[in-house]
Every structure is written in structure tokens, then in C-alpha cells.
Amino acid sequence: MAETTRVYGVIDTRDLVFREQFTGNASDVTFQLTNNIGNAAFEVGSWSASQIQTSYPSHITGTNKQPIYDSVLPILRHRINISSISSTGLVTLDYAPLAVNFYIWYWYTLTPKDHLSTYHREDFVASMEEQGSYLASEIYTDTTNFDSILSATEDTAQKSLDILDDHLHTAQTLENDGITPDSGTLTLTGNFISDGTLITDNGTYVGEVITVTVDDASAVFGNALYQAADLNYERTLADSTTTMPALALALESGSGSKKVLIKGIICDTSWNWIQGPIYISESAEGELTQVIPSGVGDQIQIIGYPLSSTTVLFNPSVITGEVIYY
């Protein structure tokens, strides 16, 4: 458990782990350590950058003591680590934290004159301190120590090994219809995922894409498609149960083996949406509309909502309603 103690440098000359809090802005990767220590207070002596043990592995976590990342998208994000700490206490990270609060944990050596009135040794670093600060340093530089690492308690071994993990795993390139090994970082190309910016270019899309057989030669980009009895795809029409529900949007014109969007974001600059749900047209094959079908026997299916006047979030409900009285 975490504990709070008094520490005398003249008696307890040893390395401690200090914690300082910072706030990211999604662009900065450098942060200056000061005497703004969150888990200790000097009663005699004072904090000095010269006492930071820059050769020992330091660490960065969220305020919940969990790893932090440079993106909210799991497939794009990188776990953030500390690249270096300079002799003046300038911390350089390998990626920029988002606009969140986070902790930087670093090793500090007290001088014989220093006296801490309080030192809060938190669970996050307690096991490392109990083994001595050199454990992490030796593990970091000498892989022959693995046997001794694994003979320690599971908790200590896991936390020590976590320092070594730079979380840069074998990179992949996701392109077209497959994944191919590459080097460096995970590279995403094509129409598979958005970087968070709303798409605005005509004929663009991001999301879940599959290739199906389209039998309707008149299908064009953005048309809604249903699955016919032969399991091929045709343009929808909301005036009958036989031509509904919409399962996909056409991404290519004509018939044959074609890519379709089954869930995602799509842009067509000929659209002019307003706020509210989007339905399947009862009178124009494959067309989307914000006019709810009203004829007796018409099928009502919400297939998405506008993100802008020309961009749609396509997330179709396969449950349809039927107009039985008008």
C-alpha cells in the first residue's frame, strides 16, 4: 500500500521517485520539471535539477496511473513514453499528449542536507523502490538480468518490464484489401479510417467497406442498396418490402463486383441535408431523403444522420416500419 513518511537525506541517502503534473495540448512534446512535486515536500533544502537521475528510466502516466496515448483512436494511437530528461530537467516525450492532465515520474537523489517533511511513496513506484532504483536501470541496459527479473515478484517484474516496453510493435501497412508488413509505425491508407477531420470532398468516404455483386447497372455513388433473393444487390425503393431494407451504399457506379459502404461516413456535394434523420425514398430508386415515406405500405427505415449539409453518417437500422394508414 502507499505510505507517507519523513525522509532525512543525511540518514536515508537514496533515490526517490518524484511525481509532477502537467497538461498536454496535442502539440507540445517538451515539458520542464520544476519543484512542483506532487508527492513530496522539502522542509530543509530545496529541489534542484542537478539531482535528477537522468540515466534512470522515467515514466509517464495519466492521473489514474494508466498509460496515455496521442490519439483516442486505438488503431492510430501510440503509447507515449519519455525519450529523455536533460540535465536541466527538460523532459522530451516521443509523442504529444492530448489535452489531458498527466504525471511524469522521475528518479531524484537527495543530498545529505535535504529533509522531506512528507514523502508519499505511491503504489505505482513502491515495488521499484523496495528493490532499489538500480534494478530498473540494470534491466534497462542489460538483458542478461531477465532471469533475476523473473525470479522477483510478479508485480515488480511486470512494472520493471513495462519500462522496457517502448510499445513500438511490428508495423503494418493497411492498404486496399489487405495488411502487409512494413517497418516504422502503423500506416493506414485508402478509405478505412478517419483522422478525426470531417470529410468534405465529393465522392469520399471512410468506414467499413466490402465488395459485393451489384446487379443494378443504374446504381451510382451514394445510392442505397438492398439484398435481393439471389443475395446480390439492387437499388432500394421504400414503397415495398421486396426492395427494402437498405444494407449498404454504393461506392462505385454500375453493375458487377463493386465496393459498398456498410457503415461509415460518406460525402456527396450534391446533397443538401438539414438536421434530422435520413430515410430511403419511396419514389426514386436508391435515393436518400429526409421526407418520411407516407404512402400505405411504404417502408420507413432510418439509415443515418447528416454530419454536415453534404456529409452523412451511414449507420442503418435493419428494422423498418410500415405505413398502414394515411
- Domain edge (last residue) among 164, 190, 223: 164
Q: Which residue has the cell 428494422?
A: 319
pLDDT at 13: 52
Task: With H, G, I as helix, E, B as strand and everything else as coil, classify residue 149.
Answer: helix
Closest CA to 159 of 120, 121, 127: 127
DSSP 266: E
Residues 295-324 as b/e (b if ≥16 CB within 10 A, e otherwise) read eeebbbbbbbebbeebbbebebeeebeebe
Low-confidence ranges of the chain (pLDDT < 70): 1-13, 123-196, 326
Are 138 and 252 contained in the same domain?
no
Would 195 be classed as within a structural domain?
no
Would 184 be classed as within a structural domain?
no
- Angle (deg, nearest 10), helices 123-131 and 133-141: 80
Distance, in Å, from the CA atom of 94 to the CA atom of 78, rounded to the nearest integer, reads 9
Task: With H, G, I as helix, E, B as strand and everything else as coil, classify residue 73.
Answer: coil
Are 258 and 140 contained in the same domain?
no
Would 141 be classed as within a structural domain?
yes
All three cell numbers of 269: 456535394
Domain that holds residue 306: 205-322
Are 151 and 21 contained in the same domain?
yes
Are 58 and 138 contained in the same domain?
yes
Q: Which residue has the cell 498527466?
A: 102
Would 31 be classed as within a structural domain?
yes
pLDDT at 6: 65
Are 155 and 211 contained in the same domain?
no
Would 176 be classed as within a structural domain?
no
Would 244 be classed as within a structural domain?
yes
Contact assessment for residue 112 and residue 7, using Cβ atoms and an 8 Å cutoff: no
Would 192 be classed as within a structural domain?
no
Would 140 be classed as within a structural domain?
yes
Q: What is the pLDDT of residues 268-285, one digit of tens each?
A: 999 999 999 999 999 999
State which amino acid sits at residue 136. A
Are 221 and 129 contained in the same domain?
no
- Domain edge (last residue) among 105, 135, 164: 164
Tally of structural domains, the chain = 2
pLDDT at 14: 72
- Domain edge (last residue) among 164, 196, 226: 164
> What pTM was estimated for this model as a whole?
0.45
**CA-to-CA dists, residue 183 to 82, 172, 193, angstroms:** 22, 7, 20
